[in-house]
Amino acid sequence: MTDSGFDPAPDLGPPPAAVLEAFGAPRPAYRLAGGRGGTWRAGSIVLKRAESDAESRWRADVLAGLPPSPLFRIAGPIRAAGGDWLAFGWEAVEAVSGHADPRRVDDVVRAGEAFHTAIAALPRPSFLDRRRDPWSYADRLAWAEPVPPESTAPSVLLKPLLDGRRPVSLGSQVVHGDLIGNVLFADGRPPAIIDWPAYWRPPAWACAVAVIDALCWHDVAPAVIERWAHLPYWDQMLIRALIYRIATWPAARRTAPPDDAYRPVVELVMEYAGARRWQ
C-alpha cells in the first residue's frame, strides 16, 4: 500500500523503448517504490505515465520556472526530443536524492509550507474543473462542493466529520495535496518535493492532509496536532482532510474504509475540534 493506504495502480509495464529514446533515458528501466507502482527510473531519469496531459504540461512549466530555493528542492522536468514535456503519454523528471520518511511529519509540513510560499502567486489552473476521479470528488465533498451522485461511497466514519464541519474564511491557492510520502530527505540537502498533485485549497489544508496521513498510517503521536495548532482554522482543516481521505477510499477501492486506521483519528480530531470550540 501507499502512504495513504491505497493499493498500487494496475501494472501497465515499463516505459517502451520509444519513450526512453525520446527522453534520452538509458535502458533498462527499474520500477520505483511509491507512485502507485507506475513510476520507473532509467539512469538519472524518472518516468511515469501522464494521468492528464494538461496537468502534466502545466506542472512542468511551473517547476521549470521556479527559482532555486535553500528550503526545498524539486525534481526538474525534462523535455522530450521534440520539445514537448510529454512523449507517447509519458512524462519525465530528473531523479533526486533522498528517501521519504513519513515519521518526520513536521519536516514534511515545513517543506510544504516553503513550497506553497514559492507558488503562492499562481493563478487557478482550469484543468481542476475537468477532473473526474475519486480524489477530486472526495476533495469537493470535504469542502461542501457539489459532487455527482454515488461518486463518493458512504461511510459511517464520515457522519461526525460532516456534522462537525463549520464555515471557514480562508483564501485558496495552488497546493500540493499529497505531501507525506512525496518529500524526500537527504543528508546535507534541502528536502525534495516530488509527485505534485495540484489542488486549489488553503495551504493549511495541505498541511492537515500530511498530518492526518501520518497519524493514520505511520504511528505518529497525537501531539503533532498541537504542534501545528497555530495554523488558521486548524480543527476545520483536519476535519476536511479526514473527509477527503475517508471519502476517497471507498470511491477508489470499492471497499469500506479500514476502521482500525481511521476511527481513532476521527475520534481524536473530533475531540480536539470540540475543545477548540469552547476555548
Per-residue pLDDT tens over the stretch 92-117: 999 999 999 999 999 999 999 999 99
Dihedral of CA 45/48/49/55: which sign? negative
Q: For residue range 66-84, what is the model confidence (pLDDT) as tens digits? A: 999 999 999 999 999 999 9
What is the C-alpha to C-alpha distance for residues 220 and 3, in angstroms, rounded to an integer? 13
Query: 17-96: which CATH number, 3.30.200, 1.10.357, 3.30.70, 1.10.3470?
Result: 3.30.200
Closest by Cα among 143, 186, 184, 133 to 165: 143
Crossing angle between the packed helical segments 234-253 and 259-277, to the nearest 10 degrees: 160
Q: Could you tell me if 191 and 73 are in contact, meaning their C-beta atoms sit under 8 angstroms apart?
A: yes
Homologous superfamily (CATH) for 100-277 = Aminoglycoside phosphotransferase (APH), C-terminal lobe (3.90.1200.10)
State the Cα–Cα distance between residues 41 and 28, nearest whole angstrom.
9
pLDDT of residue 248: 86
**C-alpha angle 156/161/162, rounded to 5°?**
90
Q: Look over the chain and give the mean of its residue pLDDT values, rounded to a whole number.
A: 91
Question: Global pTM?
Answer: 0.92
pLDDT for residue 255: 66
pLDDT at 34 over 90: no
State the cell numbers at 167: 464555515
Where do the structural domains in the chain lie, given as residue ranges? 17-96, 100-277
Instruction: In whole angstroms, give the CA distance from residue 227 to residue 225.
Output: 5
